[in-house]
A and B are shown apart, each in its own frame.
Chain A
């Protein structure tokens, strides 16, 4: 079974500041890793994913994440945030070769202040 821990439930930052949202996972098998964003009263939008290959992955809206297998982490970063980045961010894992079931963390609420 897999589990995901998002270490911060809320992250407030000022506009144009850098941000890092932390995600750690646990799994006995190899996994795929994902970050999704959810704006108020909307569904989930895929930000980026790690399937294999380069451990640094780039996504939409200037976000990137780095897969660290030894630390079982997949932290999300953005060098300069905008007001429009205010949203809930979810880290998720699925087992490679499995049923494709996604296991989500509890989410991190990112609030960007002017």
Chain B
């Protein structure tokens, strides 16, 4: 089976712009989580969605939002980009409990 896929792989934006990142979970997985990994740090939890409903939210500003679609894929949206939003954004999927499997990430650079 295919693993978690994310698009795009790389992205360059300027301050104030908006960005949408996409994630497709492993087949059969109903939960998607998003993490932000700043250079030199461990990933930080942003959101979790299960069966299209938000199950958890990390300590991120309202500029960050997400949604999950009926096919369990997900989008992460970030408005009014700041330089500090430059990071690797990781998506992880699971069956809804225990173990998360990560995708390759989207590397976002904000100039």
Contact = CB atoms under 8 A, between A and B. Distances in A.
Interface of A: 4, 32, 34, 36, 42-46, 49, 51, 90, 92, 99-107
B42 A99 contact: no
B94 A43 contact: no
B37 to A, nearest CB: 9
Nearest to B99: A49
Nearest to A98: B56
A5 to B, nearest CB: 11
A104 B48 contact: no
Size class of B's contact patch? 20 to 34
Interface of B: 4, 6, 31, 33, 35, 40-45, 48, 55-56, 58, 90, 92, 94, 96-105
Given A43-B102, A100-B48, 8 more contacts: A36-B102, A43-B103, A43-B105, A45-B102, A51-B98, A101-B33, A101-B45, A102-B35
B99 A107 contact: no
Given A42-B104, A46-B99, A101 B58 contact: yes
Interface of A is mostly: strand
A100 B41 contact: no
Nearest to B35: A102
A100 B90 contact: no
Contacts of B104: 42-43
14 contacts: A42-B104, A42-B105, A43-B102, A43-B103, A43-B104, A43-B105, A44-B92, A46-B102, A100-B33, A100-B97, A100-B100, A101-B45, A101-B56, A102-B100
